[in-house]
Structure 1
Amino acid sequence: MGNSSKFMKGIMLGAIVGGMLSLLDKNTRQSVFQNCRERKDKIVHLMKNPNIVVEQVKETTGKMKTTFEQVNEDVTFITEKVKEVTPQVVEIVQETKETFSSEKSKIDE
C-alpha cells in the first residue's frame, strides 16, 4: 500500500510540475488566465441567477421526455406492424413449404 501511495504522490507532483513548466510560455499563461476568468464570470453569473440553471434543466428534461415518447410511439408502431405481418409471413412460408413438398414428390415419382 505504501508503494501505491508514493506512486500516486509522484503522479500528482509530476502533473503540478508539468503544469507549472507549461505556464512559463507566455501564450499558454495568457490562455489559461483568460479561460479561468471566463469560467469565474460564468459561475458568478449562474450563482446570481440560479433560475437560468433551473430553466436549462427543465428544458433538457422536456426534450428527453419528448424523445422518449417518440421512441415509445415508434416501438409501439413497429410492434403492431410486426404482429400484422407475422401471420402473413407464416402463411407464405407454409405455402412455399407445401409447394416445394409437392414438387419434390412429383420429382420422386
Structure 2
Amino acid sequence: MKKNQFWKGMLLGAIAGGAISLFDKDTREIMKDNVQKSAKNVYKIVRHPGETAAKIKSTIEQVSEDFSYIAEKVDEFRELTPQVTEIIKETKDTFTKSDDSEGLEDLLEDKVPND
C-alpha cells in the first residue's frame, strides 16, 4: 500500500524554508517581534477571557449593524432604480421629441418658399 507523502513533504519543506529564512538578521528580528506580540496577545486573552469575549461580541454586533445598514441601502436602491429609470426615459423622450420637432421645423422652412 502506497502512502501519500505530499502533505508530509509540504510540512517539512515549509519548516526547512522557514529555518533557512532565519539566516537573515532582519528576518530574525521581525520574527522575534511578531512572536513577542503574539505571545502578549495570547497571554492577555488567557488572563482576561471575559474582556476578549466582550470585544468579540462588540465586533460581531457592529458587523451585524453594518450589514443591516448595507442591506437596507440595497433595498432602497432597488426601490429607487425603477423610479430613476422612468425619469431618465421621460427626459430622453422629452429631448428626443424636442429635437424631432426642431428638425421638422427646419425641414419645413427649407421646403416652404419665402415670399
- Using structure 1 for the length normalisation, give the TM-score: 0.63
How many residue pairs are counted as aligned between the two chains? 106
Partner of 1:22: 21
Structure 2 unaligned blocks of 5 or more:
94-115
Task: Report the equivalent of 1:31.
Answer: 30
Per residue, is there more helix in 1 or in 2? 1
Q: Report if the CA contact (8 A) 1:46-1:53 is conserved.
A: no
Cα distance in structure 2, aligned partners of 1:24 and 1:12: 19
Q: Which structure 2 residues correspond to residues 38-49 of structure 1 after superposition, within 5 A?
A: 38-47=37-46, 48=49, 49=52
Alpha-carbon distance in 1 for matches of 2:17, 2:62: 41
Q: Distance between the aligned counterparts of 2:71 and 2:53, measured in 1?
A: 27
Instruction: Provide closer, same or farther for how the CA distance between residues 62 and 14 of structure 1 changes in structure 2, counting only shifts above 3 A.
Output: same
TM-score w.r.t. the length of structure 2 is 0.61
Q: Percent identity?
A: 22
| Structural RMSD (CA) | 3.5
Closer, same or farther in 2 for the Cα pair 1:38/1:73, shift >3 Å? same
Match of 1:20, as an amino acid? A
* 2:79 paired with 1:79: no
Give the whole-Å Cα distance in 2 for the aligned partners of 1:15 and 1:73.
50
- Unaligned stretches of 5+ residues in structure 1: 91-109
Once the two structures are superposed, the pairs formed by residues 1-109 of structure 1 within 5 Å of their partners are 2=2, 5-47=4-46, 48=49, 49-82=52-85
Deviation at 1:8, TM superposition (A): 2.7
